[in-house]
């Protein structure tokens, strides 16, 4: 393939729109985590670029959305994932929409907090959250290495899982914004432009699952 480019000042910048899914290939270790559990192992990540947004370079306002037809890409890498029992979801009174926003918010916050515990950058890892993963049968929040085959970042996070989650829960509780900001749940690398985020539900979920916060 050959791409032809030319210098221009169009007044906008582009942000890709993508969708991702995760499948657990192999579970290497598992430990109880609050009312649920956390595990680490090999995961298969499937991602597809769906299009891109054009945003004003000054105001950041979205001009429009351009749809693309692109092939999906699959990568096997290392990951760590938390499984949230249905009982916790029921206890917190989270419906499907709030649960999706909570899991997505915790995912973003956890990615942002990992570099505080592991020598990496948030761009070295990614995440996928779902209200029900077929491999676990429950709400699952997965953080994975961004490199094929793994780079050890997600696995290192597993070794510090309690501290990692507690740091994430503390960030969500202490951030003074109302609906989410770059200091807590808004991510510069989110594939769907930080849609379907619920800060309050994320805070409740993180607090309820925090094994250090309940001691």
Q: How far apart are CA 43 and CA 149, in angstroms?
A: 10
Chain segment 66-117, per-residue pLDDT in tens: 999 999 999 999 999 999 999 999 999 999 999 999 999 999 999 999 999 9
**For 110, what's the count of Cα atoms within 13 Å in the CB-facing half-sphere?**
35
Residue from 158, 127, 160 nearest 145 by CA? 127
Q: Contact, 166 vs 66, CB < 8 A?
A: no
Chain segment 12-53, per-residue pLDDT in tens: 999 999 999 999 999 999 999 999 999 999 999 999 999 999
The structure's pTM equals 0.91
What residue spans of the chain are helical by DSSP H? 86-92, 96-113, 153-159, 161-174, 199-209
């Amino acid at each position: 393939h050959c791409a032809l480019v030319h210098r221009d000042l169009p007044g906008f910048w582009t942000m890709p729109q993508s969708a991702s899914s995760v499948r657990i290939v192999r579970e290497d270790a598992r430990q109880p985590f609050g009312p649920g559990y956390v595990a680490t192992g090999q995961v298969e990540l499937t991602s597809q670029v769906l299009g891109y947004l054009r945003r004003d370079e000054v105001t950041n306002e979205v001009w429009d959305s351009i749809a693309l037809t692109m092939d999906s890409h699959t990568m096997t890498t290392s990951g760590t994932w938390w499984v949230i029992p249905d009982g916790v979801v029921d206890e917190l009174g989270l419906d499907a929409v709030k649960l999706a926003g909570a899991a997505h918010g915790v995912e973003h916050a956890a990615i942002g907090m990992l570099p505080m515990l592991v020598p990496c950058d948030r761009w070295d890892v990614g995440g996928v959250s779902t209200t029900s993963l077929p491999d676990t049968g429950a709400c699952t929040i997965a953080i994975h290495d961004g490199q094929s085959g793994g780079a050890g970042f997600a696995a290192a996070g597993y070794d510090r899982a309690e501290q990692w989650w507690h740091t994430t829960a503390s960030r969500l509780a202490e951030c003074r914004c109302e609906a989410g900001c770059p200091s807590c749940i808004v991510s510069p690398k989110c594939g769907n432009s930080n849609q379907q985020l619920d800060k309050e539900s994320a805070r409740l979920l993180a607090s309820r699952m925090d094994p250090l916060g309940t001691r």
